[in-house]
Chain A
């Protein structure tokens, strides 16, 4: 599989996925700041 960081598009998609994963992590596994 090609490294997604080889292209700008792959990098941005990876960044968006990572953002979503971290938001889910924050909301479900860490105490939300202002629920």
Chain B
């Protein structure tokens, strides 16, 4: 039963993580450039009204689900339970490797909910904002999203290199 739980949590962490990081890459590699071009020919509304809100919905909640399932996965490792979480986030052996990945993921989740989503709400007109505020929000959201793109590379290295498999 324990193996089934660990397997399901690991699987869920991967599925939600792919959803989150896949959308992060979509925003950075596709949507930002597409919006620039669409703004030039007056077709940006198609993206900002119909695509971006849906993508952001899946993006921010997939981030939450990934983090929660990540904590659930940590609880299945080695010492099990709260002790593992403490050792992971304080980078103690043998959890230091996965701990770095966990910290990077946590910082990225914070960026999503503290910088990206609140500023996207202003950009997309979900909350009222002046043009000046929108321009600032665009800049902050872009830099937060790029920061997460940068952090995703080491985060995935520490997640995908078996650090959570090498613990008894």
Which of A's residues lie within 8 Å of B, judged by CB?
3, 5-6, 8, 11-12, 14-16, 18-19, 22-23, 25-26, 30-34
Contacts and interface: CB of A to CB of B under 8 A. Distances in A.
A28 B83 CA distance: 24
A23 B156 CA distance: 12
A11 B163 CA distance: 25
A2 B21 CA distance: 26
Contacts, number: 62
B147 interface: yes
Interface string B86-124: 000001111111101000000000000000000000000
21 contacts: A6-B146, A8-B29, A15-B152, A15-B153, A15-B154, A18-B151, A19-B153, A19-B154, A22-B100, A22-B154, A22-B157, A23-B157, A26-B96, A26-B97, A31-B92, A31-B93, A32-B93, A32-B97, A33-B94, A33-B95, A34-B94
Nearest to B153: A15
Nearest to A12: B153
Given A14-B150, A15-B150, A33-B98, 10 more contacts: A5-B143, A5-B146, A5-B150, A8-B28, A16-B153, A18-B150, A19-B154, A22-B100, A26-B97, A33-B166
A30 B149 contact: no
Interface extent on B, as a size class?
Answer: 20 to 34
Interface residues of chain A: helix, strand, loop or mixed (majority): helix
Interface of B: 28-29, 91-98, 100, 143, 146-147, 149-154, 157-158, 163, 166-167
A34 B151 contact: no
B119 to A, nearest CB: 15
Contacts of A3: 143
A8 B150 CA distance: 9
Contact of B96 (A5, A11, A19, A31): A31
A30 B150 contact: no
